[in-house]
Structure 1
Amino acid sequence: MKTLLIKLSTIEDVRNFVNAVTKCDAEIDLTSGRYIVDAKSIMGIFSLDLLNPITMKINGNGDYSRLMADIKQFIVE
């Protein structure tokens, strides 16, 4: 399992993020407060508080370097 923080500031960010994570076979969840949604669900993401960074959890063990490259602009350091 890999956990990191992401920030999705605009509708375009959400769309681009979902397009990137949809290419990954792993199960990916986003957590904001007590809410957990599927990272591949645009409607689910819009139900979260997008004003603050969101916790992203990749469930599984694998090489996610392609995914990390695709979403690097959203990762909070």
Structure 2
Amino acid sequence: MKREQIMLKTINDVKAFVNSVAKYDFDVDLLSGRYAVDAKSIMGIFSLDLSKAITMEIHSDDCQNFLNEIKPFIVK
């Protein structure tokens, strides 16, 4: 499992992020406070507080292509 912090600032960011996640067959969760949602769920993501960074949990060890694809959303 791998963890990263991400920021989704606009509706288009959320759509692009969900489209990227949907291409992969491993699970990705987004955690904000005590809430956890499936990263493939647009409605779930919009239920989170998008004004601050969100913790992303990737349930795979082979996720480098995915991380490269979502690089613009990863907070350094």
C-alpha displacement at 1:66, in angstroms? 1.1
Matched residue SS, 1:36: strand
Distance in 1 (alpha carbons) for counterparts of 2:34 and 2:52: 14
1:3-47 per-residue CA deviation (whole Å, 9 max, x = no partner) reads 010000000000000000111111100000010000000000000
After the TM superposition, which segments of 4 or more aligned residues of structure 1 sit over 3 Å from their partners? none
Matched residue SS, 1:26: coil
Match of 1:44 in 2: 44
Superposed, 1:20-59 pairs within 5 Å as 20-59=20-59
Distance in 2 (alpha carbons) for counterparts of 1:17 and 1:32: 16
Match of 1:70 in 2: 69
Give 5+ residue unaligned stretches, structure 1: none
Among all aligned residue pairs of Structure 1 and Structure 2, give the percentage whose two residues are the same amino acid: 58
1:47-67 per-residue CA deviation (whole Å, 9 max, x = no partner) reads 000000000001132x21110
Corresponding letter in the other structure for 2:74 = I
C-alpha RMSD over aligned residues: 0.7
Give 5+ residue unaligned stretches, structure 2: none
| TM-score normalised by structure 2 residue count | 0.96
**CA distance change for structure 1 residues 9 and 44 in 2, over 3 Å: closer, same or farther?**
same
Q: What is the count of residue pairs matched by the alignment?
A: 76
